[in-house]
């Protein structure tokens, strides 16, 4: 399996002096194509920081992030924006969708940024809505969708750009348990059907149980890295 994510000695420190906090302390991990990986750990362990650095949303103080061989730690500006757009799908915890756009338009948005022709966009939108089980709800705005449905749209949006990896930070945190598990099942199905690489953070044991691999962080250090179901 090809390596899609590789971090080398990734370090990130916030603050200075007495307020200095080491969020990540020389973290090196490798994620291969098609893995369904959960990053776990208590609050403040560095889960979000690790995902932000992998996603190119933040810059490491030291170390490298290689995504499909490209070192995004050395990218900036529009080049980094374009890379994120084309190679990484994001699912956020909440306030995920653009409220004034319908579900379809939210999914279409990223393809517009990519310059995908209209016909292909519309077709892909329909395909994505079907994959996440939201056929017939495409014209609804986020305010007319449940939390679980909104997160499914977010998954569809993340998938729409055909990224190499999908990063999700506690995607089920604002959902009730059953809805959270249902969302994770959707992600899992996509992972298995399309061999899509998912890396998500969680501190919910029911969610962790569904991951192939657990990377446990504490105080910015990898304490455990285990493969489970694969």
Closest CA to 216 of 43, 33, 47: 47
98 contributes a contact to other proteins by CB under 8 A: yes
> Interacting stretch for other proteins, rule CB under 8 A, among 18-26, 87-95, 182-190, 210-218?
87-95
Q: Give the integer Cα–Cα distance in Å for 145 and 129.
A: 13
- Decide whether 84 or 124 has the Cβ nearer to other proteins: 84
197 contributes a contact to other proteins by CB under 8 A: no
Instruction: Give the pairing of strands 3-14 and 62-67.
Output: antiparallel
31 contributes a contact to other proteins by CB under 8 A: no
Q: Give the integer Cα–Cα distance in Å for 210 and 139.
A: 32
Q: Give the integer Cα–Cα distance in Å for 139 and 145.
A: 10
- Decide whether 33 or 93 has the Cβ nearer to other proteins: 93
CB-side neighbour CA atoms (13 Å) of 102: 10
215 contributes a contact to other proteins by CB under 8 A: no
User: Nearest distance from residue 197's CB to other proteins, in Å?
Assistant: 16
Applying CB under 8 A, which of residues 37, 45, 52, 150 lies at the interface with other proteins?
A: 52
Applying CB under 8 A, which of residues 173, 182, 208, 221 lies at the interface with other proteins?
A: 173
92 contributes a contact to other proteins by CB under 8 A: yes
Cite the beta strand spans of the chain per DSSP E.
3-14, 21-32, 36-40, 62-67, 70-71, 88-91, 165-169, 197-201, 213-218, 221-227
Residues binding other proteins (CB under 8 A): 48, 51-52, 55, 57-58, 77-78, 81-82, 84-86, 89-96, 98-101, 105, 108-110, 112-114, 157-158, 161, 167-170, 173, 201
């Amino acid at each position: 399996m090809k390596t899609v994510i590789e971090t080398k000695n990734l370090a990130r420190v916030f603050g200075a002096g007495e307020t200095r906090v080491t969020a990540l302390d020389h973290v090196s991990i490798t994620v291969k194509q098609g893995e369904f990986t959960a990053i776990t750990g208590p609050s403040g362990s560095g889960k979000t920081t690790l995902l932000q650095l992998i996603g190119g949303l933040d810059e490491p103080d030291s170390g490298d992030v290689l995504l499909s061989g490209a070192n995004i730690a050395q990218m900036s500006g529009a080049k980094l924006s374009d890379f994120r757009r084309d190679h990484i799908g994001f699912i956020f915890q909440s306030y995920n969708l653009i409220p004034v756009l319908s579900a379809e338009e939210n999914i279409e948005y990223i393809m517009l940024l990519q310059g995908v022709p209209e016909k292909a966009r519309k077709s892909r939108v329909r395909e994505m809505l079907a994959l996440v089980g939201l056929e017939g709800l495409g014209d609804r705005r986020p305010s007319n969708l449940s939390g679980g449905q909104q997160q499914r749209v977010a998954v569809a949006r993340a998938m729409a750009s055909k990224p190499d990896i999908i990063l999700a930070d506690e995607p089920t945190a604002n959902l009730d348990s059953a809805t959270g598990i249902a969302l994770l099942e959707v992600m899992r199905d996509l992972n298995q059907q399309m061999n899509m690489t998912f890396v998500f953070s969680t501190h919910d044991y029911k969610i962790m149980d569904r991951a192939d691999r657990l990377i446990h962080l504490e105080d910015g250090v990898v304490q455990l890295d285990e493969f489970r179901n694969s």
